[in-house]
Structure 1
Amino acid sequence: MNARTRNNVRVVGAADGPVVMLAHGFGCDQTLWRSVTELLAPEFLVVLFDHVGSGASDPAAWDAEKYAGLDAYSDDIIDIAADLDLRGATFVGHSVASMMGVLAVPKAPERFSKLVLLTPSPRYIDDGDYRGGFSAEDIDELLESLDSNYLGWSASMAPVVVNAPERPDLENMWTASFCRTDPACARVFARATFLADNRADLASVALPTLIVDCARDSLAPPQVGRYVRDHIAGATLTTIDASGHCPHITEPERTAEAIATFVRSS
């Protein structure tokens, strides 16, 4: 099975433009990039895909043991880049996909030239002086709730993740994306996301890196964005004056502009 089929890869936009690969986070699929894609497509060649177990990826590719950690997802990213023969692409990862990018780019330096981490978190659980925003008990409760009431969990989390009460259509969009994911796959992906600790991996990133976070994000609070910036050499941080964890949904213009400006920079 090739990566294009496995990951439902789509390529749109300017054929001769700089390549931007957009990777979605937990509970999402590539459709949530639609507004950012429309803004980037006139100038950039945009690569979209679904992680295995999400969206319209090939169900036959799912293996619960294989995808219990983030390494398999990062390997898929490299496979997609190789299948498309990408050279010097900018990888944009939202949420947990940002850490997939952190793992992937050092393994394939010929494929990627820049890295954009959108609302990243290398570890969600507090640890000593590190403040990820959640206690171990918080994450246990979150995972237990997901296990016991999958659809109810998605409905209750939408206001936290999207945090756009004046735009219920955006919260409904996120919930609909989440509900398209098989619950068994989502439970495995949730543990891979919320129990991961990628702090030590940040030092391996040697590419120009932009971190984009939101001023009010309860899943990846501002101190997390600053931590990522401080632990990737030369990284820069842009904070969007927005609420929630999904600025590509709630603030697509500012998100697309941050990406585009960074890709254009030398």
Structure 2
Amino acid sequence: MTSHLKKKNNINIEGNLDAAQTIIFAHGFGTDQTAWDAVKQAFKDDYRLVLYDNVGGGHADPAAYSPIKYNKLNSYADDLLAIVNDLQLEDAIVIAHSVSSMITLLANVKNPAIFKKVFFVGASPRYLNDESENYTGGFTQPALDSMYETMTTNYYAWVSGFSAAAMGNPDQPELGESFARTLGEIRPDVALSVAKVIFESDVRKELGKLQKETLLLQTQHDIAVPQEVAEYLNQHISNSKLLYVDAEGHFPHISAPNQVIAAIKSFI
């Protein structure tokens, strides 16, 4: 692996380095690769594991982030392809959370040969409602504008509120606090830029191009991704299966890792 790429995306290769099969774990907004700590343990004996941080988050190289370059999800997809190519991976399985699900989908559209199967947790092709197409994404533009305003004027107050709401599971406040820590470590201006790119992205036209076996994992209640979105993905990704788990919040791999592990094992 080139040292430049390792530093850029804080790439770590773990598990069984001699395994024939590789699993790539990709994190969502506000978290980093440590979000997979509980889940990855179940696969370290039988698979080579590749973990990385998206530019703009975690311990990715801060110098690599540019709001001009990373003004669309395709730039993150290019990063994922660069990692796959650098490690010379073939037929990898990708376990992706939230925005990294659509990043993975875009990478697959650019190079359909590299992934064998994809597993998406809390994925959404568009967060904004679209009345012209009767599409429910879960957010209105005024709601997003209000969120951006709060992020701009009082970032750490926003972090506290958003992390608790997105994590759910109020009986386990330490989970929300853990998310607040990783979210709070992101420079406020970077977080705002990245949030705008994510929440105003629209990948719906690309969904039909994903032909890989796909499992969509959805919780019973997710503030960021309503069930209508999961159903929409299931309808528009041809080789997909939708699985609801008995968990709540946007981060079941953190709040209910055993259920996610069981779903991954049955899928792969």
TM-score bracket relative to the smaller structure? over 0.9
Whether the 8 Å contact between 1:8 and 1:56 is mirrored in structure 2 is yes
Whether the 8 Å contact between 2:164 and 2:177 is mirrored in structure 1 is no
- Is 2:36 aligned against 1:33? yes
Match of 1:57 among 40, 57, 60: 60
- Is 2:126 aligned against 1:123? yes
Runs of 5+ consecutive residues of structure 1 not aligned to the other structure: none
Secondary structure of the residue that 2:70 maps to in structure 1? helix
Offset, 1:109 = 2.4
Whether the 8 Å contact between 1:106 and 1:206 is mirrored in structure 2 is no
- Is 2:220 aligned against 1:215? yes
Deviations 1:10-47 (A, max 9, x none): 01112215211111111111111111111221222211
1:154 aligned partner:
159
Match of 1:136 among 133, 141, 164: 141
Whether the 8 Å contact between 1:22 and 1:47 is mirrored in structure 2 is yes
1:94 aligned partner:
97
1:198 aligned partner:
203
Over 2 Å off, 4+ runs: none
Secondary structure of the residue that 2:217 maps to in structure 1? strand
1:2 aligned partner:
4
Secondary structure of the residue that 1:151 maps to in structure 2? helix
Q: How many angstroms apart in 1 are the aligned matches of 2:121 and 2:47?
A: 18
Q: How many angstroms apart in 2 are the aligned matches of 1:87 and 1:233?
A: 22
Q: How many angstroms apart in 2 are the aligned matches of 1:144 and 1:203?
A: 35
Match of 1:105 among 105, 108, 111: 108
- Is 2:182 aligned against 1:177? yes
User: Which deviates more, 74-83 or 161-170?
Assistant: 161-170
Q: How many angstroms apart in 2 are the aligned matches of 1:35 and 1:194?
A: 27
1:189 aligned partner:
194
Q: How many angstroms apart in 2 are the aligned matches of 1:248 and 1:183?
A: 25
- Is 2:71 aligned against 1:74? no
Whether the 8 Å contact between 1:39 and 1:253 is mirrored in structure 2 is no
- Is 2:49 aligned against 1:46? yes
Q: How many angstroms apart in 1 are the aligned matches of 2:176 and 2:153?
A: 22
1:238 aligned partner:
243
TM-score calculated relative to the size of structure 1: 0.95
Deviations 1:174-208 (A, max 9, x none): 11111121222111110111011111111110111
Whether the 8 Å contact between 1:21 and 1:47 is mirrored in structure 2 is yes
2:87 aligned partner:
84
Q: How many angstroms apart in 1 are the aligned matches of 2:197 and 2:183?
A: 16
Whether the 8 Å contact between 1:12 and 1:47 is mirrored in structure 2 is yes
Q: How many angstroms apart in 1 are the aligned matches of 2:222 and 2:20?
A: 32
Offset, 1:163 = 0.4
Q: How many angstroms apart in 1 are the aligned matches of 2:78 and 2:108?
A: 10
Deviations 1:198-244 (A, max 9, x none): 11111110111110011111210111111001000121011111110
Identity %: 34
Match of 2:264 among 250, 254, 259: 259
CA RMSD of aligned residues (A): 1.2
Runs of 5+ consecutive residues of structure 2 not aligned to the other structure: none
Q: How many residues align?
A: 263
Offset, 1:4 = 1.9
